[in-house]
Structure 1
Amino acid sequence: MTLWLLRHGEAEPRARSDAERPLTERGRREVRKAAERLRGCELAHILVSPYLRAQQTAELVRESLGLKLPLTTVDWATPDDSPRAAANQLDAYPGECLLVSHNPLLGSLAGLLLHGHLQQPLGLSTASLVALDGETIPGLMQLAGLYHPS
């Protein structure tokens, strides 16, 4: 399995709530750059946090790549959710999968899947894209790529 992890693009610093923070124009540009790295991938699923900036990021990826694939909103992919709980959910989505979410969840999830523990999270900037290959079992995935669009 190839698992792609995409952190949302740069978001506005304030909104009525953290969940309602939209992407900035810079964030939209970052996401479009990151999306190009996914061109040619055969995504079976696009999983996305319910937060606005993640939803906007996933929609930009879908538009940039001309995909008809639906977005699947998952409630276990918010910034404060458990990386272990998220890892346990991934087997329900076979095939090549893109998860659009936030830090610290994504950095910790990547570290968990690569190393089998939470002590070495990957450092991810906005719109960073990670490619992991292997079984979605902690410690058994391999880093296939890391892209920072800055």
Structure 2
Amino acid sequence: MKVWILRHGEAQYRARTDAERELTANGRKEVLNSAAHLLGQPLRWIIASPYVRAQQTAELVRQALGFADAVVTVPWLTPDSDPRKALENLDLYASDNVLLVSHQPLVGSLIGLAVHGNVQQAEPMQTASLAELEGDFPLAGALNLLGVRHPE
């Protein structure tokens, strides 16, 4: 299985709630830059946090790739979600190639857990950073980090 983990693009600093923050123009540009690295990849699922900025990020990627299926929205990809629960939920997609669109601190902790087996070695992820992981099963310490691309 391959898993790509994308942090949402740059978002507004202010909104009524954190969940309602929208992407900025720069954030949209960052996301499209990252989406270009996914062209030609055999994605089966795009799974995103319900927060507005993650939904906007996932939709931009979906459109840029010409991905026919809808974005799957799940509650286990919010900023404060437990990375262990996220990894457990990822097991439902273990036979497929998946793009996760989420937030810090979850994305960094999730990568650390998947690659190193713990959350203490979190991966630094800027807005619109894209990590590529690969392995047989989504278990703690069982995935290999193939690389991380940061926006330019």
Q: Which of 136, 140, 143 is residue 141 of structure 1 equivalent to?
A: 143
* Runs (5+) with no aligned partner, structure 2: none
Identity %, equivalent residues: 53
Matches of 1:62 and 1:45 in 2, distance apart? Answer: 10
Counterpart code for 1:117: N
Matches of 2:140 and 2:69 in 1, distance apart? Answer: 28
Counterpart code for 2:72: T
Matches of 2:11 and 2:32 in 1, distance apart? Answer: 14
Matches of 1:86 and 1:67 in 2, distance apart? Answer: 23
Matches of 1:131 and 1:108 in 2, distance apart? Answer: 14
Please tell me the root mean square deviation across aligned C-alpha atoms, in Å. 0.6
Report how far residue 42 of structure 1 moved. Answer: 1.0
Matches of 1:120 and 1:67 in 2, distance apart? Answer: 33
Report how far residue 67 of structure 1 moved. Answer: 1.2
TM-score (norm 2): 0.97
Q: What residue is the counterpart of 2:9 in the other structure?
A: 9
Q: What residue is the counterpart of 2:24 in the other structure?
A: 24
Determine whether 1:95 maps to 2:79: no
Report how far residue 117 of structure 1 moved. Answer: 0.8
Provide, for residues 110-145 of structure 1, a one-character-per-residue CA deviation record: whole Å limited to 9, x for no partner. Answer: 000000011100000000000000021100110112
Determine whether 1:83 maps to 2:83: yes
TM-score (norm 1): 0.98
Matches of 1:139 and 1:69 in 2, distance apart? Answer: 30
Report how far residue 10 of structure 1 moved. Answer: 0.1
Report the more deviating stretch, 134-143 or 46-55. Answer: 134-143
* Runs (5+) with no aligned partner, structure 1: none
Matches of 1:41 and 1:143 in 2, distance apart? Answer: 16
Report how far residue 149 of structure 1 moved. Answer: 1.1
